[in-house]
Amino acid sequence: MPAELPRIDLARDEDEVARAVDAACRSVGFFTVVGHGIDPGLQARMDTAARAFFARPEAEKAAIAMAHGGRAWRGWFPLHGELTSGVPDHKEGFYVGRELPPDDRPLHGPNLWPAEPADLRPAVTAWMDAVEGVAQRLARAIGIGLGLGADWFARHLTADPTVLFRIFRYPPVPPPAEGWGVAEHTDYGLLTLLAQDHRGGLQVRGPDGWIDVPPEPGALVVNLGDMLDRMTGGRYRSTPHRVVPTSGDDDRLSFPFFFDPSWDAEVRPLPLAGEAPPDDAATRWDGTSLRHLDGTYGAYLTAKVARVFPALAETATLPPTP
């Protein structure tokens, strides 16, 4: 694995992009994309609104805490309120998704928006729409790269994608900094498209050690989730990553967007040519195999999320886990 991530210009020809995406997915499982056409001012606008939100009084933020979002799994969580690999992360966050009615499926439903700043909602909504467009283009490229055809994902897996968006604030940790911004993990679904500010801190696990993902204005960091690894029999890699504690004197903000299979989609291995690599369960960060998962994406995600927010899982009405 190279010490630098592949950088893919989406403004190029679709087949050329598909080849580059395929190569990145088979090696690092991480790449950055530029030339995606998203208005550069939009991230700055969302960043400003998010910083203003996190600076609001605790009681105001608590009024839209995730507990009030119930099983829709939306809203604010306080510093150390989320666990990765059983360890509390040194981060505060805000969860949103598509705006849906309260009786929708679990992890779907109405968002919880703060009254202030008023611009958070329109800025985040515009960003989510724009990034979803990029995700759909990447899904086309992956369909081409896997030899399934450009429309395969949209037809079979992401007709009604599970879309979750998060904003994280990583406050600086004074030295000696212990723990993690986010502990080592892989993502659950298909594709994660992350925007970050200029502070850095995201690291990807390579065979020879951790690789820094350097911030680049306007670039999106893309990585693959466990479902894509599983469906491709490990040909495409969901690579472990983590966030080191923030140094310096200001907060780091990151904006991961998760583009995942439809809630009811059955997750099955794809009919792909060539030999699948050996199962890496023994060396995976969580010691589990991705090869034997089946059932719907919704059932799988529900079980995963319950581990990250144990208290919320107890209060929320969730369907039985597999």
Asked if residue 202 binds ligand OGA (CB under 6 A), the reply is yes
Piece in contact with ligand OGA (CB under 6 A), picked from 47-55, 140-148, 149-157, 194-202: 194-202
User: 92: which residues sit within 8 A by CB, 6+ positions away?
Assistant: 54, 76, 77, 78, 79, 81, 168, 169, 171
| Distance (Å, whole) CA 198 – CA 38 | 18
Q: Which amino acid makes up residue 132?
A: E
Taking the least distance from each CB to Ni ion, the nearer of 83 and 154 is 83
> Minimum CB separation from ligand OGA for residue 67, in Å?
20
Asked if residue 187 binds Ni ion (CB under 5 A), the reply is yes
Asked if residue 66 binds ligand OGA (CB under 6 A), the reply is no
Asked if residue 243 binds ligand OGA (CB under 6 A), the reply is yes
> Minimum CB separation from ligand OGA for residue 30, in Å?
11
Asked if residue 182 binds ligand OGA (CB under 6 A), the reply is yes
Piece in contact with Ni ion (CB under 5 A), picked from 84-92, 184-192, 294-302, 305-313: 184-192
Q: Which residues of 47-56 are buried (b: 16+ CB within 10 A; e: fewer)?
A: bebbbebbee
Piece in contact with Ni ion (CB under 5 A), picked from 54-62, 106-114, 181-189, 305-313: 181-189
| Distance (Å, whole) CA 95 – CA 74 | 5
Question: Binding pattern to ligand OGA, positions 129-168, x when CB under 6 A?
Answer: -------------------------------------x-x
Asked if residue 89 binds Ni ion (CB under 5 A), the reply is no
List the one residue from 36, 61, 90, 241 that touches ligand OGA (CB under 6 A). 241
Angle separating helix axes 40-54 and 120-145, nearest 10 degrees: 130
> Minimum CB separation from Ni ion for residue 225, in Å?
8
| Distance (Å, whole) CA 272 – CA 143 | 11
Closest-CA residue to 252 (of 278, 289, 280, 213)? 213
Asked if residue 183 binds ligand OGA (CB under 6 A), the reply is no
Report the half-sphere exposure of 46 (CA within 13 A, side-chain side). Answer: 29
Taking the least distance from each CB to ligand OGA, the nearer of 22 and 92 is 92
Taking the least distance from each CB to ligand OGA, the nearer of 123 and 202 is 202
Asked if residue 22 binds Ni ion (CB under 5 A), the reply is no
CA of 151: how far to CAs of 141, 144, 159, 241, 287, in Å?
A: 9, 8, 10, 29, 34
Angle separating helix axes 120-145 and 14-26, nearest 10 degrees: 90
Taking the least distance from each CB to ligand OGA, the nearer of 89 and 146 is 89
Asked if residue 169 binds ligand OGA (CB under 6 A), the reply is no
Give the 3-state secondary structure of residue 202: strand
User: 300: which residues sit within 8 A by CB, 6+ positions away?
Assistant: 188, 227, 267, 293, 322
